[in-house]
A = this chain, B = another copy of it.
Amino acid sequence: MTPVELSKAFRLLNHGPTTLITSAHGSQRNIMAAAWVCALDFNPAKVTVVIDRNTYTRELIEAEGTFAINLPSVQQIEMVKQVGSISGRDLADTDKFAEYGIDTFAAQAITAPLITACVAWLECKIIPEPHNQATYDLFIAEVVAAHADARVFSDGRWHFEGHDDLRTVHHIAGGVFYATGQAC
Contact = CB atoms under 8 A, between A and B. Distances in A.
Contacts of A17: 16
B156 A173 contact: yes
Interface of A is mostly: strand
A67 to B, nearest CB: 17
Contacts of A27: none
Contacts of A181: 167, 178-182
A80 B170 CA distance: 21
A131 interface: yes
A179 B182 contact: yes
A111 to B, nearest CB: 26
Interface stretch (A37-45, A89-97, A116-124): A37-45
A110 to B, nearest CB: 22
Interface string A142-174: 000000000000001110100000010111111
Contacts of A172: 11, 14-15, 157-158, 183
A107 interface: no
